[in-house]
Amino acid sequence: MDLSSIRKLITRYCTGEESWVDSRTVYIGQKEPPPGTEAYIPQRFPDNRIVSSKYTFWNFIPKNLFEQFRRIANFYFLIIFLVQLIIDTPTSPTTSGLPLFFVITVTAIKQGYEDWIRHKADNAINQCPVHIIQHGKVVRKQSQKLRVGDIVQVKENETFPCDLILLSTSREDGTCFVTTASLDGESSHKTYYAVQDTKAFNTAEEVDTLHATIECEQPQPDLYKFVGRINIYLDRDEPIVRPLGSENLLLRGATLKNTEYIHAVAIYTGMETKMALNYQSKSQKRSAVEKSMNAYLIVYLCILISKALINTVLKYAWQANPNRDEPWYNQKTETERQRHVLIRAFTDFLAFMVLFNYIIPVSMYVTVEMQKFLGSYFILWDDDMFDEELGEGPLVNTSDLNEELGQVEYVFTDKTGTLTENNMELRECCVDGHVYVPHAICNGQILPGATGMDMIDSSPGVDGKEREELFFRALCLCHTVQVKEEETVDGIKRGIHQGKSTSFYISSSPDEVALVEGMKRLGFTYLRLKDSHMEILNREDEMERFELLEVLNFDSVRRRMSVIVRSSSGDYYLFCKGADSSVFPRVVSGKVEQVRARVEHNAVEGLRTLCVAYKKLTHEEYEETCHLLNRAKLALQDRDKKLAEAYDVIEKDFILLGATAVEDRLQDKAADTIESLHKAGMKVWVLTGDKMETAAATCYASKLFHRNTQILELTTKRTEEQSLHDVLFDLSRTVLRQHGSMTRDTFSGLSGDYQDYGLIIDGATLSAVLKPTQEVTSNGGNYKEIFLEICRNCSAVLCCRMAPLQKAQIVKMIKASKERPITLAIGDGANDVSMILEAHVGIGIMGKEGRQAARNSDYAITKFKHLKKMLLVHGHYYYIRIAELVQYFFYKNVCFIFPQFLYQFFCGFSQQPLYDTAYLTLYNISFTSLPILLYSLMEQHINMDILKRDPTLYRDIAKNSLLRWPTFIYWTFLGVFDAVVFFFGAFFLFDNTTFTSNGQMFGNWTFGTLVFTVLVFTVTLKLALDTHYWTWINHFVIWGSLLFYVIFSLLWGGIIWPFLNYQRMYYVFMQMLSSGPAWLSIILLIIVSLLPDVVKKVLCRALWPTTTERIQTKRQCLTAEQSTIFMLSQTSSSVSF
């Protein structure tokens, strides 16, 4: 049989027909089209039930268990538990079963609770009523029963129940307003358009008579893309075909505004809606700490296995003498004797594994998770990062990366909206070289005399005046700004007249709002779009009406937009505005040189410039254009590409009118933040789509480049003159020479005045650099490596003219470079999403360009300046906290298990546990768990104010410095040393003598309890020594858990526990405490175990102090002085009272 055909059959059977058809046909109102048009293929679509929950009541337990045991650690403990159940092991299965059960239960409860919440939310959504038109009547139905093809009626302020194609609205022009606040955070009203030919079907009865089918693509997650076609069967045979685009598609989750009701047809339902498709989780990011943790785990697993192997081998060597293997007092059972030696050896090996398995603690995972989860609340709660204007604080979308914030080496930042406010203001416009500056404004209020303007140049002539007015009209018409309506038309008018209308313009692009507002100040007021007519109020307060014929929307590739309008006099105009680079090549006349000079001048000042051009169209030209556009719009496939081609044909032969300059102010403290990041050893790269001059100006303003920074340019301008190859080599030579002398300088202590470099590269050159070349250069490396080498030696890099994907490419390239640095990307717009997702840590700014970046980020903040606290304070804290947590966990388990290993040498390798079952079980769960958890939540080795003030401290923890192998080995050896001290301390104390005053002897359980007591105290006190920040909580938890250990031991040994089949701990603890030498030796052993660590700390601090330690020491001296002064003032004040 042909295998592939079987596979095809199977996939077809499993996935259903429609999923491999790349478009779907929807029959509006579930009605079949007139016969003969097309074969009627009923397609099955899912119902409108949203299922965000993972489990149902029935599958919760098996599915949740399966999910949990997929984690390698849980699986490991399950195996250990099963081994304990199956073979005769030294410790009872409860010792590993109970913690595992605890962990699994806690996780299951947490997940169950979350899922229950999701179920509730799902039910609320699925059962909320929707209105469906059936047989000309409005029927209420539950949302989940909605089917594809149903006609839905939605009223104002209701949320759309699924993805709908707008058929008709209560408004005459067939538009409706929608906010997508819950989808992308943009609260502005967006206009959606009903299909032209159905907008007349206004009432329920009328809609019901509609015969149409919709063909559209299969659901895909891109919110802003939709391609479809509607076939309307009116009385004629031939259906009317109309294109459908995203302007017709109402998305589930959006809300209807300012429109009484609409009728629309469902096309994507349930889990196929764009909203649901966007819920799909992002790929998991793993932090560097987690990676080192896993590496340590592997080391410990090896230690565990080798320990078990060594003991097994030694056991059989030792047992070679039968009198040792089976002395007369300790016979084996018959079954044991008959077992094959290999099986015995294997079970022994497993038993040793079980005995030592606590070295990899189940509770570490729980503690790390809890630390991350709870710790992230401190970010949420942080008052300093709360933004009063937005009324929002930071968001934590994942808590897995908290500590990664302390490890950042490269910061990639967007410019607009991130470094700058994205609060645009028209600074000036230039018409044919004449510069106009609108009046100064304050807080959006126009000062009196709003219609005036300053003319810097001499006033233009009559011809100039005409051009000038055309320019202003062009700016008033060429945009997609909406006017938010008041109750009445008069309201708007009044509002505009009183100059309060500033807040009424809404647009997705702040530049446009700035332009339209600027125009208002220059005398031309855009009123509204009514019946496809744009109304503007000119300087003489006369209404001018232009019919809006076509809008050629802005896109980031073309970098321009155009409108085609017809004036009241019947002239056709095409107005275009766009980036200089995309407009100048298409200009045929106009004062190009003057305008270009002005544009460049403004760009250097850090202003955002746009050029405005127009062309007049004849009626025939317009017809042709229309035809071109419609053909492209109707295409089902590659519509975007065809549209782009059409635009390219239409937008040419312009006459240049002038240029505008919009200022985008730097964000509050952006320069200070960048300087701090620099001092903290981070490299800051600015990646922007803006042009080089503007971006460079911003970089200077934000202190990314300094006055003495030598700028290296790697731009198309330069590569045109020289070959890319030569430029790259030139630059690398410059940088490397400098680098060499710099290291010499640092040696001679003259590092202060070395040259630092800033690199500017543009998108085109970057793609040339990144292009994989087969050509091997003379140095043996390719361009990419040379480029990386240059970048490594530059303190700041500016990449301009970047496409969104290129931003991600750069991040990826740096990520993959040989040092594997930790990268952070920060941005606010949809164009930053790709780099936010690519970087190790992605930070979104909740800005004006919607919430897309914030939604896709790991953390979201409101202002760029908050990045400083986020990294320097929170990141630093989380890193040292989790580093200690990880190291300490391994340390305390070495301390715990190594004595047990040593004990095997004295009990004939018989796997006899040193400690009682209860101690084995509870050591990690309760005796030593809380202090480290609280430490890892509360520790502050240095005050946060100092961390903020002195960014260089961040360098102390760079490159994962607290989790490097030497540190890990130090901790492990400390653990081994402590374990040896515990064990041999107790050993010599027990050595063939008694240490009670009544001559009675102690047994092996007392021995173990003594070791365990010293262990618990040492391990807890070790943490106490590491704690630099003792709040009452730390005191409570540290002393509390020691007290808990004592009380538990007293209780555990104080009663004959009826449910236990052994009573070996009965009174063991109390008997031990009744002996003086036991106390003395406990104290001695604790001190001896802690001594080396204290000495090491003190010596390192005194001889080779890190910056952190110096500051700690210095602060201590200062505060000591301060506190005395404070005390003195206190006493004096109390005296005076």
Partner 1 sequence: MMASSYNAKDEDGHHPGSVGSGGPGAVKSKKPDNTAFKQQRLPAWQPILTAGTVLPAFFMIGLIFIPIGIGLLVTSNNIKEFEIDYTGVDMFSPCFNCSQSYSWNSTSACTCSVPFTLDQPFESNVFMYYGLSNFYQNHRRYVKSRDDSQLNGDKSSLLNPSKECEPYRTSDKKSIAPCGAIANSLFNDTLELFYIHPNGSRIAIHLVKTGIAWWTDKHVKFRNPGENNNNLSIVFQDTSKPVNWRKPVYELDPSDPDNNGFINEDFIVWMRTAALPTFRKLYRIIQKKKDNMTPTLPPGNYSLEVIYNYPVRSFDGRKRMILSTISWMGGKNPFLGIAYITVGSVCFFLGVVLLIIHHKYGNRNNNADIPN
Q: Which of 116, 622, 1028, 1050 binds partner 1 (CB under 8 A)?
A: 1028
Give Cα separations from 605 to 664, 697, 801 (angstroms): 11, 6, 18
Site for partner 1 in 97-126 (CB under 8 A): none
State yes or no: residue 618 binds partner 1 (CB under 8 A).
no
Minimum Å distance from CB 355 to partner 1?
A: 9
3-state SS string for 25-83: EEEHHHCCCCCCCCCCCCCCCCCCCCCCCCCCCCCHHHHHHHHHHCCHHHHHHHHHHHH
Spatial neighbors of 673 by CB under 8 A, at least 6 apart, are 864, 865, 867, 868
CA-based nearest residue to 921, from 896, 899, 903: 896
Q: Which of residues 231-290 bind partner 1 (CB under 8 A)?
A: none
Is residue 380 a contact point for partner 1 (CB under 8 A)?
Answer: yes
The owner of tokens 């970057």 is: 766
As measured in angstroms, the least distance from the Cβ of 256 to partner 1 is 22
Residues 381-410 that bind partner 1 (CB under 8 A): 381-383, 386, 388-389, 391-393
**Of 414, 511, 664, 762, which residue is the catalytic one?**
414
Contact 245, 227 (CB under 8 A): yes
Q: Which of residues 1003-1022 bind partner 1 (CB under 8 A)?
A: 1003-1004, 1006-1008
Q: Which residue has the tokens 């059972």?
A: 333
Distance, in Å, from the CA atom of 296 to the CA atom of 943, rounded to the nearest integer, reads 30
CB of 677 to partner 1, least distance (A): 16
Q: Which phi and psi angles does 871 have, rounded to 5°?
A: -85, -50
- 588 near partner 1, rule: CB under 8 A: no
Stretch that binds partner 1, among 327-335, 537-545, 748-756, 1042-1050 (CB under 8 A): 327-335
Does residue 478 contact residue 442 with C-beta atoms inside 8 Å? no
Q: Which of 486, 537, 18 is nearest to 258 (CA)?
A: 486
CA distances from 312 to 350, 354, 987, 1108 (A): 9, 13, 23, 47
Cα 654 to Cα 574: distance, rounded to the nearest angstrom:
9
Which residue matches tokens 């780099």?
835
- Which residues are annotated as part of the binding site for ATP? 414-416, 512, 554, 577, 608, 688-690, 801, 807, 831-832
Report the candidate in 931, 833, 828, 830 with the shortest Cα–Cα distance to residue 888: 931
DSSP H or E segment with residue 753: none
Contact stretch for partner 1 (CB under 8 A) within 453-461, 732-740, 854-862, 982-990: 982-990
Describe the crossing of helices 362-381 and 72-86 by its angle, rounded to 10 degrees.
150
* Alpha-carbon gap, residue 692 to 677, rounded angstroms: 23
Contact between 200 and partner 1 per CB under 8 A: no
Return all residues near 874 (Cβ < 8 A) that are at least 6 apart.
Answer: 378, 379, 382, 402, 405, 406
- Count the Cβ atoms, other than its own, within 10 Å of residue 344: 17
- Interacting stretch for partner 1, rule CB under 8 A, among 144-152, 211-219, 848-856, 1066-1074? 1066-1074
Site for partner 1 (CB under 8 A): which residue of 12, 1062, 1128, 1131? Answer: 1062
> For the CA atoms of 409, 415, 419, 423, what is the dihedral angle to 10 degrees?
-160
Residue with Cβ nearer partner 1 (622 or 1066): 1066
Return the range that interacts with partner 1 (CB under 8 A); candidates 267-275, 438-446, 859-867, 1089-1097: 1089-1097
CA distances from 43 to 17, 19, 88, 213, 986 (A): 8, 10, 60, 13, 78
Q: Please report how close the Cβ of residue 1055 comes to partner 1 at its closest, in angstroms.
A: 10
Asked if residue 989 binds partner 1 (CB under 8 A), the reply is yes
Provide CB contacts within 8 A for 888, sequence distance 6+: 932, 935, 971, 1022, 1023, 1026
Q: Would you count residue 320 as binding partner 1 (CB under 8 A)?
A: no
Distance, in Å, from the CA atom of 15 to the CA atom of 17, rounded to the nearest integer, reads 7
Among 330, 532, 618, 779, binds partner 1 (CB under 8 A): 330
By CB under 8 A, tell whether 338 contacts partner 1. Answer: no
Whose Cβ is closer to partner 1: residue 674's or residue 735's? Answer: 674
Interface residue with partner 1, options 908, 961, 1021, 1050 (CB under 8 A): 908
Q: Applying CB under 8 A, which of residues 281, 1117, 1136, 1137 lies at the interface with partner 1?
A: 1117
**From candidates 7, 120, 332, 539, binder to partner 1 by CB under 8 A:** 332
- Closer by beta carbon to partner 1, 102 or else 1066: 1066
The least CB distance from residue 180 to partner 1, in Å, is 20
Question: Of these, 327, 444, 491, 1040, which contacts partner 1 (CB under 8 A)?
Answer: 327
Query: Which one among 52, 123, 912, 967 touches partner 1, defined by CB under 8 A?
Result: 912
> 320 vs 1056, which CB is nearer to partner 1?
1056
DSSP state of 730: H
**Interface residues for partner 1 in 78-97 (CB under 8 A)?**
90
Yes or no: say if 216 and 23 are a contact pair by the CB < 8 Å rule.
yes
**What is Dmax (Cα atoms) for the chain?**
124
Binding flag, residue 220, partner 1 (CB under 8 A) = no
| Binding residue for partner 1, selected from 102, 622, 987, 1048, defined by CB under 8 A | 987
Residue span binding partner 1 (CB under 8 A) among the ranges 447-455, 538-546, 555-563, 1096-1104: 1096-1104
Q: Which residues contact 655 (CB under 8 A, 6 or more apart)?
A: 587, 588, 589, 590, 613, 614, 615
Which one, 200 or 380, has the nearer CB to partner 1? 380
CA distances from 1119 to 166, 1109, 1123 (A): 69, 15, 6
491 forms part of the interface with partner 1 (CB under 8 A): no
CB of 943 closer than 8 Å to CB of 1115 = yes
Q: How far is the CB of 1133 from partner 1 (least distance, A)?
A: 16
Token match 């159940």: residue?
Answer: 85
Closer of 18 and 950 to partner 1 (Cβ)? 950
User: Residue 549 in 3-state DSSP?
Assistant: strand
Does position 1063 interact with partner 1 (CB under 8 A)? The reply is: yes
Return the number of the residue (736 or 1051) whose C-beta is nearest partner 1. 1051
Stretch that binds partner 1, among 123-131, 534-542, 788-796, 1102-1110 (CB under 8 A): 1102-1110
User: For residues 389 and 620, which CB has a smaller minimum distance to partner 1 in the complex?
Assistant: 389
Shortest distance, position 473 Cβ to partner 1, whole Å: 34
414 is catalytic: yes
* Residues 664 to 703 in contact with partner 1, rule: CB under 8 A: none
The residue range among 211-219, 484-492, 669-677, 906-914 that interacts with partner 1, by the rule CB under 8 A, is 906-914
Q: Which is nearer to partner 1, 788 or 902 (CB)?
A: 902
394 contacts 117 by C-beta, under 8 angstroms: no
Q: Kindly tell me which residue out of 329, 340, 342, 569 binds partner 1, with binding defined by CB under 8 A.
A: 329
Our CB check for partner 1 shows the closer of 20 and 1062 to be: 1062
Binding residues for Mg(2+), as ranges, are 414, 416, 828, 832
Report d(CA 99, CA 358) in Å as an integer.
11
Q: Which is nearer to partner 1, 102 or 1067 (CB)?
A: 1067
Q: Does 503 bind partner 1 (CB under 8 A)?
A: no
- Cα–Cα dist 73/99, whole Å: 13
In the list 13, 328, 747, 1137, the residue contacting partner 1 (rule: CB under 8 A) is 328
Looking from the CA of 694 toward its CB, the CA atoms found within 13 Å total 27
Nearer to partner 1, 426 or 934 (CB): 934
Kindly determine how many residues on this chain lie close enough to bind partner 1 according to the rule CB under 8 A.
Answer: 107
- Positions at the binding site: 414-416, 512, 554, 577, 608, 688-690, 801, 807, 828, 831-832
Active-site residue numbers?
414
